[in-house]
Structure 1
Amino acid sequence: MATLTFLTLLILLTPSGGLYFHIPETAKKCFIEEVPDETMVVGKYKIQAYDDRIGDYLPSSPGIGMHVEVKDPADKIVLSKFYAAEGRFAFTSHSPGEHTICLHSNSTRWFGGQKLRIHFDIQVGEHANDYPQIRAKDRLTELQLRVRQLLDQVEQITKEQSYQRYREERFRLTSDSTNSRVLYWALIQLVVLVAIGLWQMRHLKKFFEAKKLV
């Protein structure tokens, strides 16, 4: 069991790789990221526009930027800001759960527009830290930087464990609620069946009495 838990945490702590996707200039693309409490998330992106003349994607034209909107599990806006055609955004979660990250260009067109390729990379927790920059800023040695990384990893593992306990608690509450509803529904069905049976018996008794069979 301990080995399975350790492997699960390793999978959860693995940094997500970069990807790219295609959208029309006026479209929106959303992602859902499960984030523990008090965890930093950093996203990096780059916009490329399709050029019909050469049949390939090139850096987007001036004026095309990116609007990033992030909502927490309670559907409250954590981040809503316009950025340039290439850059990064960051936010810190204040509640555990699924965070929705939506991207769309700042185009004001109603229809059509260019076809865009968005390169997108998101890092969660200690993977979002820029350790070379931290080393240069704090003037850390190689050993000190490694200790810093290990401490950050331990802290992130602790947060992931707390998040897994939170998910298990929510799942247990959902299961208890479902079981209660199933029990109530079964009791209601039983009451209805008994009531229908009593009504049928009373109706048959009156029918037999009317026919003077009893």
Structure 2
Amino acid sequence: MILCSCPRSLSAALLQFLSIFALLLPLVTPLYFHIGETERKCFIEEIPDETVVVVYYKVELFDPRSGGFVPSSPGIGMHVEVLNPEAKVILSRVYSSEGKIPFTSHDPGEHAICLYSNSTAWIGGSQLRVHLNIKAGEQTMDYANVQQKDKLSQLQLRMTQLLKQVEQITKEQNYQRYREERFRATSESTNNSVFRWSLAQLTILVVMGFWQMKHLKSFFEAKKLV
């Protein structure tokens, strides 16, 4: 934990910078995982709106003879689904054992990238190893290809890179504001719900107290104690 006795304005600016930096980190996510015959693996990525995302993957099949993983046969691939923040499917199709999957986010928020095998009859029920690399935003740019295609000088290429980076940072800042607005709306809704529930409890207590007093008065009058 990092403690800071900085002024509030500086602390807020530092917090915003760290939040944007934390969002930029997962834009490149290289990893691998093992998946069974009927398993479904999903990965959640927080992505700003109108951002290009490219999922690179490679499937390997376990070889019991060598005790390791080898490239899978062409018939074994991956079924990939991408869900937007409203859990609506924006991409669903079967891909081969190796390749890349591009898509564009149209809504800001958490996108789910789900993968499962397109085969249900593996030899001996072997596991698959899936190498996964998720890139988003400026990280998806192939600058070598851009330089060659547009015949850019090194200076022009560097300017293009900087412009793309500024564009990505702007999107991240807008996404941070979007998250803050959602958090504020949720907090206000929660506070209103707590206030209404507290008011309802107070009303119930007052009504119960009034009823008990009336009941006791009737009881004492019936017993001629008052």
Question: Normalised by the size of structure 1, how large is the TM-score?
Answer: 0.94
Quote the offset at 1:107 in angstroms: 1.0
Of residues 185-194 and 53-62 in structure 1, the stretch that sits farther from structure 2 once superposed is 53-62
Q: Post-superposition shift, 1:167?
A: 0.4
Map of 2:154 onto structure 1? 142
Q: Bigger CA drift: 62-71 or 179-188?
A: 62-71
One of 72, 81, 84 as aligned partner of 2:93:
81
**Counterpart position of 2:132:** 120
Give RMSD over aligned pairs.
1.6
Following superposition, the deviation at residue 185 of structure 1 comes to 0.3
Code of the residue aligned with 1:185 in structure 2: it is W
Partner residue in 2 for 1:96:
108
Q: Is 1:190 matched up with 2:197?
A: no
Distance 1:139 1:201 in 2: 90
Structure 2 residue identity aligned to 1:136: Q
- Displacement of 1:71 in angstroms is 0.8
Number of matched pairs? 213
Contact 1:26 1:107 in 2 (8 A): no
- Aligned partners of 2:210 and 2:134: how far apart in 1? 64
Question: What amino acid is aligned across from residue 149 of structure 2 in structure 1?
Answer: K
Task: Judge conservation of contact 2:20–2:176 (CA < 8 Å) in 1.
Answer: no
Compute the displacement of 1:3 (Å): 4.1
Question: Distance between the aligned counterparts of 1:191 and 1:94, measured in 2?
Answer: 47
Give the counterpart letter for 1:73 in structure 2.
Answer: P
Change (3 A) 1:17 1:104: same
2:65 partner letter: R
Read off the aligned partner of 2:217 and give its amino acid letter.
K
Name the structure 2 match of 1:180. 192
Partner-residue secondary structure (3-state), 2:73: coil
Q: What secondary structure does 1:18 align onto? A: strand
Matched, 1:11 2:16: no
Instruction: Measure, in 2, the Cα distance between the counterparts of 1:8 and 1:147.
Output: 26
Tell me how far apart the structure 2 counterparts of residues 64 and 135 of structure 1 sit (CA, whole Å): 36
TM-score normalised per structure 2: 0.89
Letter in 2 for 1:191: T
Deviates more, 1:167-176 or 1:136-145: 136-145
Which whole-Å CA distance do the structure 2 matches of 1:129 and 1:173 have between them? 35
Instruction: Name the residue aligned to 2:47.
Output: 35
Aligned-partner SS, 1:200: helix
Distance in 1 (alpha carbons) for counterparts of 2:155 and 2:98: 34
Contact 1:26–1:113, Cα closer than 8 Å, also in 2: no
Gaps of 5+ in 1: none
